[in-house]
Structure formats: structure tokens, C-alpha cells
């Protein structure tokens, strides 16, 4: 075993070691070696890099790394959401970055159902956005134990949105956000953004690549033919990240590409690709423009349920995400300024999670679905209808004494579902900065003796306004149609209005 030592270019007193067996892991532009204890990787650029690139790397591993390290929720971002490079080294004139090793959950335990060729391989996001890998008839389908359920992908999308939000808050752009540069683990609902050494600092650090096919923004492809110095040439930036982000979210939740439809723009495959993803890009589910609909004969050829927008239209993601997909893929597709920002995606995803219902079919692959606002909801994946009564809760917030305003936030109830502080008060924001105390449930719903009940675990001012009764901590109240329950009487405290649907 050949162990090589290299010095930091930031602090020459720091020495790093890696194992060189002559067979590095080969990436797009880097060769990757691992430390003997597998705690970090040393990723060397294959080619020599220029002065500006070196300066950008120095900033990424010092200034921006320290910004995260010394900011809010640093552990969440550095341990969970990013593999952020924290030092740079040089060997024989070639530069490399020191990156923390991937968490063990981001490696396949089993891999394929039929064989184990990808066992211990990295769980890059691409595996989980491709319908064929979850089709049981397909010989290379992934083992069910690796796939998670539909709810897993909402949390994965929330984590990616938070990662992009944080970068943008620091004035950075990822520039190559794609399913190749995000590791995911549906089992633990985790996501991790990688390949961060190519970050773009507007006005200071230009992009090194134009992106990955499927995720490149239309304006970048449309101007790709222009000289790099041409002022009309569009290079990756924060707005192009805000194209790639919804494409990723759409692909994780619906497992198809939003612009790969039936329309052929040019018989030359390369020209067709540039037009279909660039200047002529049209959302396959555009409500008014059917030109790029997915064709039925394609579905027969692909033999996949997920490819059919008629069976699983984007509206099954619920009202908040439907609205944002329209903004991103219709209004903002060719007008980048109109694209929703990462924080909007995070908020919409979190509100959608509150609309999710468990499917009662034990054999349903997806296990969860978003309530469709009808009196007879059913799972869009397996068709199983909801049985029995269903409490629907609309949240109102206390604007001033005796004045409650609607929140445009709904909570669906199911047996053993929890209530949290962020439901009880708008002063508690559900984001990465929540404290362990804030994450504790303050109540839960239960179906008890054929009645829906809410148990108060930690809301001292909870009150049944319909009957003017205080509901003390460790007591419960029946959830009935038309009932109003105040969760908190503080400013910003919330009130629940209950609608009980029957089928």
C-alpha cells in the first residue's frame, strides 16, 4: 500500500495522507484518492488550473467554509447537507481539495434485486429518478429495501432546497446542480450536495462548466454557441440553479423529466436536444400548450407506469407544489427572473408534507399520497380509496385580540400523527434552525373508540373555543366537524378549524 503525504497550500504545517494504488476513482475533472482511515478524500484536478481557479478554491475552503462553520445550523449543513471541501493541497503542480468522506448511508447495502454489482456503490440521485430502476420486471431494478417511500422524496427535496438556499444566501451558485451531484438515501430521507469546488461567485469566480444535460437552463443552452466573452452569452448563475432545483424535485417526486416529451424539433439528434432543452423547451404538462405531451407509444416502449403524466399528473403533488411547478416550468422557463427561489420550494414542500395521508393498502409501493381536497380521496398510485371519516384542519393565526386570519395552511389528520410547535405558533419557523426542544411534539391525534381525538402533550393555553373549555396538558378533546380549537393564545398563536369528511 503506497501512502502519499501532501501539504496544505493554505497552512503548510497541515499534512494529509492518501492511499495511491494506481487506481484512483475517476470523476469528470478530478481523480479521487482516500485517506488510510477513510475519513477524507483527496481529489486532484486532472489538468493544471489557472490563478483565478486557485483563488476561487482558496475562498471556498476558507472564507465560505468558515461562514457555514460559524453560522446557524453549521452541523446540519457541514455534516448532512454538503460535503464541503475544507482545505487545498498541491502535488507536482497539480491542485487538489480535501473533502470529508461520504456518510455510510450514501452507499448501497444491496443494490440490484437480481445481483449485487452496485453493492457499496454511491447512491447518486440518478438511481432514484429513473423509473426502470423501480420496475420489478426490469432485471436491474433496485432492491425494495433501498427505495424508501413517496414521503422519503419530499424530505430529500426539502434538504436539497435548504442546501441551495444557504448557498444563495452566501452569494454563491452551485452551477452544476444535478442528480449526479446529489447523493440521496431514501431510507433515512437524507440528501447531500457534492462537487462543491465548482461554485460560482458572481462577479468574482466564473463557472467551470455549463452544467449537466437534463438540468442546464434554457438560456444557457440557447447562448452556448456564443463566445465565452460575449456579453449575450449566459453562464450558470443563481437563476440557473433555480431551474435545476425544480427539475430535480419534479424528477424525484414524479420520476420523469419535465421537458422530455413527444415533440421532435430537429432530425439531427444533437440539434434536437439543444432546442428541446433550450430555446424551444416546453413543459410536458403545460395546461394550455399540448405540443410536447408524452406519447402513448413511447410509454409502451419504455413499459413504465411512472412515465405517464395522465396516470400521475404533476397535480398529485398538491396545490402548493403545483403552483410552483407552473411558475418554474411555464412562467419562469424562458424568463429566469420569475423562477421561484429555494426558500419558496422549501416552504411549499413543508406545507405539502402536512397534506400527506398514509395509503391503507399494505402492498402500495409509495405508502403515502397528498390529499386531493375531495370528499372521497384515493391513492393515485394504487387506486385504494380512503376508508372512514377524515379530519381536515385549516389553520388560522391570531392577528389581534379575537381576530383570527386564515393561514393558507392545512393539516391532514391520521392515526398517531403529531402536532408540533410550528403548528401551534407562527413564531416557531420550521427550518434547519429548529432546536431539539422545538422538535418535540406538543400533541398527537388518535382514532380512539371510533372517535378522532387530539391529545394535548405540551400546549398550556389550549382551549376548545366551540365549548369554551380549557384543555389541560395530558388531557384530550374530541375532533368534531365545525369545532374550533385554540392551540396557543399568544400573538401569532394558531387556531384549528375542523372539517370532518365522510365517505
Q: What average pLDDT does the structure give for the chain?
A: 91
DSSP 8-state secondary structure symbol assigned to residue 179? T
Q: What pLDDT is recorded for position 112?
A: 57
Cβ pair 7, 14 in contact under 8 A: yes
Helix axes 150-169, 238-254, angle to 10 degrees: 170
Q: What is the DSSP string of 83-106?
A: ----EEEEETTEEEEEEEPPPGGG
Domain boundaries for CATH 3.30.200 within the chain: 3-101
pLDDT tens digits, residue range 323-371? 999 999 999 999 999 999 999 999 999 999 999 999 999 999 899 999 9
pLDDT at 120: 75
Helix, strand, coil tally for the chain in percent (to 5): 30, 25, 50
Would the pLDDT of 211 be above 70? yes
Selected residue with higher pLDDT from 385 and 137: 385
When the candidates are 2.60.200.20, 3.30.565.10, 3.30.70.100, 3.10.180.10, the CATH number that belongs to 388-501 is 2.60.200.20
Instruction: Specify the fold of 106-354.
Output: Transferase(Phosphotransferase); domain 1 (1.10.510)
Q: What is the pLDDT of residues 299-330, one digit of tens each?
A: 665 545 556 788 889 999 999 999 999 999 99
* pLDDT over threshold 70, residue 116: no
* From-to residues of CATH 2.60.200.20 in the chain: 388-501
pLDDT-above-90 percentage for the chain: 71
| Residue 208: Cβ within 10 Å count | 18
Give the tens place of pLDDT for each residue, 77-96.
999 999 999 999 999 999 99
For residue 328, the SS3 value is helix
Do 49 and 95 touch, CB atoms closer than 8 A? yes
pLDDT, tens digit, for every residue of 441-480? 999 999 999 999 999 999 999 999 999 999 999 999 999 9
What letter would DSSP give residue 201?
A: B
β-strands 469-470, 463-464 pairing? antiparallel
Confidence of residue 174 (pLDDT cuts 50, 70, 90): very high
Mean pLDDT of 15-42: 90
Backbone angles phi, psi at 72, to 5 degrees: -65, 145
The CATH number corresponding to 3-101 among 2.60.40, 3.30.200, 2.60.120, 3.90.79 equals 3.30.200
Amino acid at each position: 500500500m503506497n501512502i502519499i503525504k501532501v501539504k496544505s497550500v493554505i497552512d503548510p504545517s497541515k499534512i494529509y495522507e492518501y492511499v495511491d494504488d494506481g487506481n484512483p476513482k475517476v470523476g469528470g475533472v478530478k481523480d479521487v484518492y482516500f485517506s488510510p482511515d477513510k475519513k477524507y478524500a483527496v481529489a486532484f484536478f486532472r489538468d493544471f488550473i489557472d490563478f483565478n481557479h486557485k483563488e476561487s478554491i482558496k475562498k471556498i475552503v476558507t472564507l465560505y467554509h468558515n461562514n457555514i462553520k460559524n453560522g446557524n445550523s453549521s452541523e446540519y449543513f457541514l455534516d448532512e447537507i454538503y460535503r464541503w471541501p475544507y482545505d487545498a493541497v498541491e502535488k507536482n503542480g497539480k491542485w487538489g481539495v480535501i473533502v470529508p468522506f461520504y456518510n455510510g448511508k450514501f452507499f448501497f447495502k444491496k443494490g440490484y434485486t437480481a445481483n449485487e454489482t452496485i453493492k457499496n456503490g454511491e447512491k447518486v440521485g440518478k438511481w432514484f429518478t429513473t423509473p426502470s430502476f423501480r420496475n420489478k420486471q426490469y432485471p436491474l431494478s433496485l432492491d425494495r429495501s433501498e427505495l424508501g417511500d413517496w414521503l422519503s422524496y419530499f424530505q430529500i427535496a426539502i434538504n436539497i432546497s435548504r442546501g441551495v438556499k444557504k448557498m444563495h444566501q452566501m452569494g454563491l451558485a452551485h452551477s452544476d446542480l444535478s442528480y449526479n451531484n446529489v447523493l440521496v438515501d431514501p431510507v433515512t430521507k437524507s440528501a447531500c450536495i457534492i462537487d462543491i469546488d465548482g461554485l460560482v461567485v458572481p462577479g468574482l469566480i466564473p463557472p467551470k462548466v455549463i452544467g449537466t444535460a437534463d438540468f442546464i437552463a434554457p438560456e444557457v443552452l440557447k447562448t452556448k454557441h456564443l463566445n465565452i466573452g460575449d456579453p449575450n452569452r449566459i453562464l450558470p448563475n443563481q437563476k440557473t440553479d433555480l431551474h435545476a432545483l425544480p427539475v430535480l424535485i419534479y424528477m424525484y417526486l414524479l420520476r420523469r423529466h419535465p421537458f422530455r416529451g413527444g415533440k421532435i424539433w430537429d432530425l439531427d439528434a444533437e440539434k434536437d436536444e439543444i432546442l428541446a432543452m433550450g430555446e424551444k423547451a416546453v413543459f410536458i404538462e403545460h395546461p394550455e400548450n399540448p405540443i410536447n405531451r408524452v406519447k402513448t407509444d413511447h410509454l409502451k416502449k419504455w413499459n413504465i407506469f411512472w412515465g405517464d403524466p395522465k396516470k400521475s399528473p404533476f397535480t398529485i403533488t398538491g396545490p402548493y407544489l403545483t403552483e410552483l411547478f407552473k411558475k418554474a416550468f411555464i412562467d419562469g422557463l424562458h424568463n429566469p427572473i420569475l423562477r421561484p427561489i429555494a426558500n419558496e420550494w422549501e416552504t411549499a414542500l413543508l406545507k405539502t408534507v402536512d397534506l400527506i395521508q398514509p395509503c391503507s393498502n399494505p402492498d402500495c409501493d409509495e405508502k403515502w399520497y397528498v390529499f386531493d381536497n375531495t370528499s372521497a380521496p384515493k391513492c393515485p398510485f394504487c387506486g385504494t380509496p380512503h376508508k372512514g371519516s377524515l379530519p381536515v384542519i385549516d389553520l388560522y393565526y391570531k392577528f389581534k385580540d379575537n381576530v383570527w386570519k386564515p393561514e393558507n395552511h392545512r393539516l391532514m389528520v391520521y392515526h398517531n400523527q403529531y402536532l408540533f410547535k410550528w403548528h401551534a405558533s407562527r413564531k416557531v419557523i420550521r427550518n434547519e434552525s429548529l432546536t431539539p426542544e422545538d422538535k418535540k411534539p406538543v400533541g398527537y391525534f388518535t382514532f380512539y373508540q371510533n372517535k378522532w381525538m387530539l391529545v394535548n402533550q405540551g400546549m398550556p393555553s389550549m382551549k376548545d373555543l366551540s365549548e369554551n373549555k380549557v384543555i389541560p396538558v395530558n388531557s384530550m378533546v374530541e375532533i368534531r366537524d365545525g369545532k374550533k380549537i385554540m392551540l396557543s393564545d399568544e400573538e401569532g398563536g394558531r387556531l384549528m378549524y375542523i372539517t370532518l369528511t365522510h365517505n
